[in-house]
Amino acid sequence: MSIDSYLFILICYSSIFISGFFISRIVNFKTATNRFESIDGFRGLLATGVFIHHSIIWKNYLNTNIWELPKNHLAVHLGESSVAFFFMITSFLFTNKLLKSGSQNLVFWRNLLYSRIFRLFPLYFCVVTICIFFALAIDHFILNSTLYVFLAQCLKWYMFNIKGKVIIGQTYNIDFMLAGVVWSLPYEWLFYFTLPIIGTLMLKNKNVISIIVSVLFILVYINHNTIRLTHMVSFLGGMIPAIIHYFYPNIKLSNKLYTIAAIFCLIIGLSFDSSSRNYFSKTFLIIAFTIIALGNNLFGFLKINFLKFLGEISYSTYLIHGILLFTTFYFVGFDNIKTLNGTTYMFLMFIIAIFLNIICSFTFYLIEKPFINLYYKIISKKPFRIRKTISE
């Protein structure tokens, strides 16, 4: 069986779904009542898609020594379009939060910044630290630079590579270990720091300090990074349902006609080679996302409890799947993985997918969740509270 086949994708999804079902029941998972349920379930699909995308790329890389996109169009979209949808989700949730607040005071921006730090940094710090240690161990703790330069490189990584990505590790660099997924996080931070400017355009009141900070961050960012317009389009696409929801809060695109329309748009959007380089494709994906964000659950599919659980642990899945694949292949032996036929490799991915869910469940409840709760504990002592900011 070819790993570029639809059957391989189906088997991997089945493994994630089955293990997610049992784990969600073991932990007695329940989502908050004021969350966007369809978005939660959608996240679960997206994070799983990125894992499958990289599992296919890894096998082809071991065979050809070339890290390139899969031959299967759907497998390409499971990576590229999933990240595009993640950008849309971020944009939708935080544009919606900004509009609902109706305020641009410093307390709002302070709490928003706290929420992002407490939500994103703890797990990221742990994963990056493990990768750095692993890379050093493989290199027998021999540095190819001075200690000062190495520590400066580590600091850049801990700052989400906002000032440009650097290479740590000689034999295998840590970006390779992570399957390169961290490229999307600087874009997330760029969007967060762009929100004050977006707020200036959408809200009547202005906050000069937040706008200045926003402009300075953007200038630093563009000085060290190349911004791809296609990713900005994804963020703009996510703002559309947020604006509609704000001005027309009673609109719910939940009936069967809209479900059929969303599925149709997904099929059209996923039929092209790549959404990241095809704006026609991305347009259909934005339309599909708008329908989902405004309450459509695709015939109830996105409301399935275990799928929402997978959405809850999706940040862990996104960050950890790369290092799990690398670690497994490293200890089993890259040459041994290379010789596996498609069926055997599929079985291996089935097993890894189960362990991925188990590990990510632990990291969520032992790392992510405690810091989420700590954020709420800190913010509850403040005179101004933003509810449900961090978990989104």
Summarize the confidence of residues 217-241 as an average pLDDT: 93
Summarize the confidence of residues 347-356 as an average pLDDT: 95
Res 383: pLDDT = 54
The tokens describing 273, both together, are 């080679």
Summarize the confidence of residues 277-290 as an average pLDDT: 92
Q: 386 falls in which pLDDT band (50, 70, 90)?
A: very low
Q: What is the mean pLDDT of the chain?
A: 91
Say whether pLDDT at 286 is over 60. Answer: yes
Q: Is 33 exposed, middle or buried (0-12, 13-18, 19+ CB in 10 A)?
A: exposed
Find out whether 66 and 264 touch, Cβ atoms under 8 Å: no
State the residue for tokens 């630290």: 129
Find out whether 109 and 210 touch, Cβ atoms under 8 Å: yes
The tokens describing 256, both together, are 């069967």
Res 68: pLDDT = 92
Q: Which element (helix H / strand E) includes 384? A: none
pLDDT digits (tens, 9 = 90+) for 144-167: 889 999 999 999 999 999 988 889
Res 206: pLDDT = 75
Select from 333, 303, 320, 299 the least CA-distant residue to 367. Answer: 320
pLDDT digits (tens, 9 = 90+) for 37-91: 899 999 999 999 999 999 999 999 999 999 999 988 899 999 999 999 999 999 9
pLDDT digits (tens, 9 = 90+) for 190-226: 999 999 999 888 887 777 888 999 999 999 999 998 8
pTM of the predicted model as reported, rounded to 2 decimal places = 0.94
Select from 356, 240, 270 the least CA-distant residue to 82. Answer: 270
Summarize the confidence of residues 246-271 as an average pLDDT: 93
DSSP state at residue 341? -
Select from 375, 384, 370, 364 the least CA-distant residue to 127. Answer: 364
Radius of gyration of the chain (CA): 21
Percent of the chain with pLDDT over 70: 95
Res 100: pLDDT = 86
Q: 385 falls in which pLDDT band (50, 70, 90)?
A: very low
Label residues 279-318 b or e (16+ Cβ within 10 Å = b): eebbbbbbbbbbbbbbbbbbeeebebbbbbbbbbbbbbbb
Summarize the confidence of residues 341-354 as an average pLDDT: 94
Percent of the chain with pLDDT over 90: 76
